[in-house]
Amino acid sequence: MAKRILMIEDDREMVTLGKLILEREGYEVLVAYGGAEGLELLRLEYGNVDLLLLDIMMTGMDGWQVLTEVKADEKTLLDARTVLAEVYISRGDTAKAIGQYRAVAAAAKEDDVALAALFKVAEIYERAGDRSAAIETYGEIVESFGEKRESAKAQFRIGENLRAAKLYKESNTALEKLVRKWPQTELTAQGNLYRGLNLLELGAPDEAVKPLAAAAAVGPRSVAVQSYYFLGVAERDQGNDDMSREYFGKVLTNYRDFPEWVRKARTELTRR
């Protein structure tokens, strides 16, 4: 792909000559005939311009003023990219939306801005059903920002997407990494719940007990109620009827604010 150069120059003859020379050398040349026009074009093309050629002596806004605005305006330009990406999403043009967010991530000097943009990219892929691309993007986040808490969320989403694709072994590998590397995050309990569910799907109820018990012990109530229910299932599948009834009983006794799980637990108990 040809490198892109933005030329801001109010002398049209200079523009014609410069554009001709640069294009002969294989560059793609964008042109603005004044400072204000150049800033507007730069905002639209931010992240896609490799070099800025700026005339100093121009009528209206001179080159020094343009340069000052460019240096001060990074956040505005990033915000403009984000708005443009949302417009593309509303029109169903996911490829262009991803391109805008990718440009934001590449240009951002602050990690939080880059992270937010990459999460947007991954979420667009998820909505489009492209789990492979979503997993790859979340992996990029973990690799690039591994020490940040947001990486735990990305690691969790890798495991979640693999689970949704019914790749249970691969999902557990990803979730085990989450639990080991980020043991104190709010996602750890949910990760352990999914690990247990994956093991049930793989026909290993005995192995499912440990992660499910860990999820029940430290998770929020919405996670704990599911963990106790599936602990009952795991013990049932191993033929441990007393333990199974105990876990289903916990759901009935302690989680009446979750009627769906109470109903399921009651159904299991009435079968015995």
CB 211 within 8 A of CB 196: yes
- For residue 150, the enclosing domain spans 73-177
The domain that holds 161 is classified in CATH as: 1.25.40.10
Indicate the number of domains in the chain: 3
CA atoms of 63 and 54, how far apart (whole Å):
6
94 and 47 belong to one structural domain: no
Report the run of H or E that residue 107 belongs to, with start and end: helix 94-107
CA atoms of 163 and 39, how far apart (whole Å):
46
Cα 85 to Cα 49, 50, 78: the distances in Å are: 17, 20, 11
The alpha carbon of 60 is separated from its chain's Cα centroid by a whole number of angstroms, namely: 43
255 and 190 belong to one structural domain: yes
269 and 257 belong to one structural domain: yes
Q: Of how many residues is the chain composed?
A: 272
64 and 80 belong to one structural domain: no
213 and 165 belong to one structural domain: no
Query: What's residue 245's pLDDT?
Result: 96
Spatial CA neighbour of 165 closest among 133, 119, 208 = 133
Q: What is the pLDDT along the chain (272 residues), one digit of tens a residue?
A: 677 888 999 899 998 998 899 899 898 999 999 888 888 888 777 667 777 888 888 888 888 888 777 766 666 666 666 767 777 888 888 998 899 889 888 888 788 888 989 999 999 999 999 999 999 999 999 999 987 889 999 999 999 999 999 999 999 999 999 999 988 777 999 999 999 999 999 999 999 999 999 999 998 999 999 999 999 999 999 999 999 999 999 999 999 999 999 999 999 999 86
Give the bridge partners for 5, in sequence order: 29, 51
Residue in the structure block whose two tokens are 């789990």:
131
77 and 173 belong to one structural domain: yes
The last residue of one of the domains, among 177, 204, 230, is 177
Query: What's residue 46's pLDDT?
Result: 64
Global pTM reads 0.71
226 and 272 belong to one structural domain: yes
CB 230 within 8 A of CB 208: yes
Query: What's residue 268's pLDDT?
Result: 94
214 and 130 belong to one structural domain: no
